[in-house]
Amino acid sequence: MATTKHTVAVIGGSGMLGKHIVTGLLENGHYDVTILSRKGSDESKLAAFVTKGAKIAPVDYESQEDLVSALKGQEIVISTVGAAALAEQPKYIEAAKAAGVRRFVPSEFGLDSGAPGVREYFPALGYKYATRDALLASGLEYTFVITGFFLETQFTSLFFWDVPGGKVTVKGDTTQPFTVTSLVDIGRWTAAALRDPASKNATVYLVGENLTYDDAIKTVEAATGKTLEVTRESKADLEAAIAAAPNLWASFLDLLLRAISDGRGLTVEKDKAWNSQHHHHHHHKQLRSLATWAPTASFQAADA
Ligand SMILES: NC(=O)c1ccc[n+]([C@@H]2O[C@H](COP(=O)([O-])OP(=O)(O)OC[C@H]3O[C@@H](n4cnc5c(N)ncnc54)[C@H](OP(=O)(O)O)[C@@H]3O)[C@@H](O)[C@H]2O)c1
């Protein structure tokens, strides 16, 4: 039986996360995928997706008209833009509405920007809050995809881990659980979740695992067969570094580590996650955990 595919546009599909969202959508088989990319951006990085059936739409984001015309005919728009363009998202929402798009999925994919008290606790995510507000006011359908931390960046140099070199530095309270999800699983589960009627006007929590830094050290040691050399920095050191930073951006990583230390890195319990509630389907089985990834981990933040 022939089925109609959902048309979906991914803004920033060449990015670290975006590549995995595009891969998940293409592998799902129920989507007709268009990747929006800045005019003049290196298109060769998208060549492999074209081979797999994706279309590329180069867009001048400065022109609202150009953006609206690129979004015409799309049912769903997924924004996977990174820090450099998070502030632009209200413009994408406006354009999506003008183009007749049904649902907008903003670039969340991290801590829960709808959690009680989070705006006061974590003002550095201001562009995500502004986007959330604009989307709720727009009348478009929405899905917020909340994933916690990316596995492939969390246990790398970015957060002071050197798994291949057997050395890590952990900061603050290392007994607090936080949420970690692999980029590979985020791509597949997001594609599957957007076909679930329950994702309409909802937050979809994806949870690979909830673990503490102390658990993570044990897991990596067991998976690699090596004892890690662990350096510990106190909560007071973390607070001092944050206080000494000239602005929120300069202390962004320390703010994230403090959130973990304060127990705010946990999104939801695993049994509340969308992927746990739908685990019977093959698309929803977890592909990558800290234990399976650690033996191949890179020192640099990477998505290998
Ligand atoms: N949970 C976590 O641990 C974690 C970690 C990192 C990021 N995140 C989140 O994941 C999302 C995606 O982040 P990312 O790091 O994957 O993004 P990224 O790689 O920095 O950027 C994604 C894409 O955005 C496009 N883009 C559009 N306008 C741009 C502009 N003005 N400047 C630069 N790029 C622009 C680029 O594609 P073209 O060149 O093709 O236009 C780029 O490849 C964000 O919401 C971020 O906060 C979460």
Report how far apart, in Å, the C-alpha atoms of 131 and of each of 58, 90, 175, 182 are.
23, 6, 33, 24
Cα torsion at 35, 45, 252, 158 (round to 10°)? 140
Give me ligand 1 centre to Cα 128, in Å: 13
List the 202-205 sheet strands across, edge first.
55-59, 31-38, 6-11, 76-79, 103-105, 141-146, 202-205
pLDDT, tens only, 121-170: 999 999 999 999 999 999 999 999 999 999 999 999 999 999 999 999 99
The whole-angstrom separation of Cα 180 and Cα 165 is: 22
Between 283 and 293, whose confidence is greater? 293
**Per-residue pLDDT reduced to its tens digit, 274-290:** 999 987 777 778 999 99
**Distance from the alpha carbon of residue 222 to the mean position of ligand 1, in angstroms:** 33
Distance 208 CA to ligand 1 centre (A): 21
The residue whose CA has the least distance to atom 2 of ligand 1 is 149
For residue 10, what are the contacts with CB-CB under 8 A and spacing of at least 6? 18, 21, 22, 25, 33, 34, 35, 36, 77, 78, 80
Distance in Å, CA 186 to ligand 1 centroid: 15
Helix (H) or strand (E) holding 167: strand 167-171
Distance of CA 290 to CAs 150, 258, 295, 301, Å? 11, 21, 9, 14
Q: Ligand 1: residues within 6 Å at CB?
A: 12, 14-18, 37-38, 41, 80-82, 84-85, 107, 109-110, 147, 149-150, 153
Report the distance separating Cα 86 and Cα 81, nearest Å. Answer: 6
Query: How far apart, in whole angstroms, are the C-alpha atoms of residue 73 and residue 276?
Result: 33
Domains of the chain (ranges; CATH) run 6-148+181-207+267-286 (3.40.50.720)
110, 266 in Cβ contact below 8 A? Answer: no
| Span from the CA of 86 to the centroid of ligand 1 (angstroms) | 8
Please say if the pLDDT value at position 303 is more than 70. no
Residue nearest to atom 40 of ligand 1 (CA): 37
In this predicted structure, what is the pLDDT of residue 78?
A: 99
Tell me the per-residue pLDDT of 29-51, one tens digit each, with 9 for 90 and over.
999 999 999 999 988 889 999 99
DSSP state of 4: P
* Per-residue pLDDT tens digits for 171-224: 999 999 999 999 999 999 999 999 999 999 999 999 999 999 999 999 999 999
Q: What tokens does 90 get?
A: 């209200």
